[in-house]
Structure formats: structure tokens, C-alpha cells
Amino acid sequence: MSENSRVAIVTGGSSGIGREAAARLGRDGYAVVIGYAGNKDRAELAVKEVEADGGRAIAVQADVADENAVAALFDRAEQEFGGVDVIVNAAGIMPLAPLAELDLDVFDDIIRTNLRGTFVVDQQASRRVRNGGAIVNISSSLTRLARPGYSAYAASKGGVEAITLILARELRGRDITVNAVAPGPTATPLFLDGKPQELIDRIAAEPPLERLGQPSDIAEIIAFLAGPARWINGQVIYANGGSAA
């Protein structure tokens, strides 16, 4: 199947890493379905960004933790473009607090979106992605960096990594790769919002490359795993500029 006939669903595709991944896959020739939670205007801007580079895209609202909404997302992709070849699970939330202070309702929201959401999307993907496809989940280097305040978020992403490694083995015989990308600090609204500049500067200075990651850095890895990286399977790729684990 040529790249020009391949179809990608990107959850969380209206912002941050998801939006950059959608744009990159569009430039690579994929038809892109941009899944978004609630901000329709932002999702439509992401669609226009793909189309401006000559690609094809639509935006579809879906709560990633709702199995019926996710099934409808896949239905729409199949109706518009004929099938699904690549899934990028970029939807996520990141409320921060020390473990002792985190409201358990907030904890439940994190687990629902980040962990259950990945499970629900991967469940549909395992049933409906065409042979020769790829599933790319988004984890986080915080599963190794163990930064205070991130216990709930890192726990949810640890679960994402477990799902990734096991699903890769469960899809034996389908020629579908399943991998996770685990970014370090990346200059997205999810990371930057609510942080003082002094803290951002301190975190940016930690890796040997002495900067924050950019969404384009992560999108490049996603595009590699989605397309040419057919011999990488069941792996977690830590993309953090060399930050110490």
C-alpha cells in the first residue's frame, strides 16, 4: 500500500504534539483524521494546516475514554478515507500536585483520559487497523525522570507503556507495529501552562542539548514509527535530548 493511500487517526490532534504529528503525517501523504475533545475551532485550524500543505484532513470530536465515541471516530475515518492504517494516541491531560495533595477526582480524570483513553483507542485499533499498519502511543520520560509532582501523570504513562509492549505481541501475524514515544519536556501548552519562566528555564537547561524539545522533534519520531520503521516493534523510544533517567 503506497503512503499516498494510507490513513492516520491522531487523537489530541488539535494541539501540541498531536497537532504537529497530524501536520507532519499530512505532509508525508497520509489522509489525517484529527480527533479532538472539545475545541472545534482549534481542530479546524489543524485541518487547515494539513490542507495548506496539500494534504487531506477532517476533524472529528471524540472523548477517547468513551468506547462508543471512539468507535464512531473509526467509523468516520473509514467512511471518509476507506480505512485506517496508523493510530497516534496523543490525547492527554497533566494536572500536577504532590501525591499527598492530589485530589482523587483529579487522579481519576488523569487515569480516565491518559490510560483508559489509550486502552480504548488501542482496542479499536487492534480490531480495525489494516495489516501493515502502525500504532504509536505517547508515553513520557517522566516514567524514568521521577520528577516530584508528576506521580499521577507518570503512573498513567507507565500503564501506557505496559499496554504498548503487550499489544505488540498480541498482534502477532498482522504485520502491525506497536510502539510508544516517551517525550521529555516539550514546548507544548500542556507543559508550559502554569509554569513560571524560571522553572521552564531550569528544566530546559537539564539535557545536554540545553533546550526544551519542540513538537516537531517528537513528530519526526512518530512519522518514522508510522512509516519506514517496520523493524521497530514493541519498544518505548525515549525522546528527551539526553536527560538523565
Please state the three-class secondary structure of 77-106 as a single string. Answer: HHHHHCCEEEEEECCCCCCCCCHHHCCHHH
- What is the set of domains in the chain, with CATH numbers? 3-239 (3.40.50.720)
All three cell numbers of 203, joined, read 528544566
**Overall average pLDDT of the 39-53 stretch:** 95
- In this prediction, residue 78 carries a pLDDT of 97
Judged by average pLDDT, the poorest of 16-20, 165-169, 192-196, 199-203 is 192-196
Q: Is the pLDDT of residue 245 over 60?
A: no
Q: Is the pLDDT of residue 1 over 50?
A: no
Q: Is the pLDDT of residue 186 over 50?
A: yes
| C-beta atoms surrounding 4 within 10 Å | 10
Predicted confidence band of residue 193 (pLDDT cuts 50, 70, 90) = confident
Q: Is the pLDDT of residue 4 over 80?
A: no
Task: Please state whether the predicted TM-score (pTM) of the whole model is above 0.85.
Answer: yes
Query: Across the chain, what does the average pLDDT equal?
Result: 94
**Overall average pLDDT of the 101-122 stretch:** 98
Q: What are the residues facing 86 on neighbouring strands?
A: 8, 134
- In this prediction, residue 83 carries a pLDDT of 97
Catalytic residue among 30, 36, 150, 153: 153
Predicted confidence band of residue 225 (pLDDT cuts 50, 70, 90) = very high
Q: Is 153 a catalytic residue?
A: yes
**Overall average pLDDT of the 9-18 stretch:** 96
120 with 70: CB under 8 angstroms? yes
Q: Is the pLDDT of residue 30 over 50?
A: yes
Enumerate residues 6+ apart whose C-beta is below 8 A from 49: 19, 22, 23, 26
| Distance from C-alpha of 22 to C-alpha of 160, rounded to nearest angstrom | 21
**Overall average pLDDT of the 198-210 stretch:** 87
SS3 call for 188: coil
**Overall average pLDDT of the 19-25 stretch:** 97
132: left (phi over 0), alpha (psi -120 to 50) or beta: left
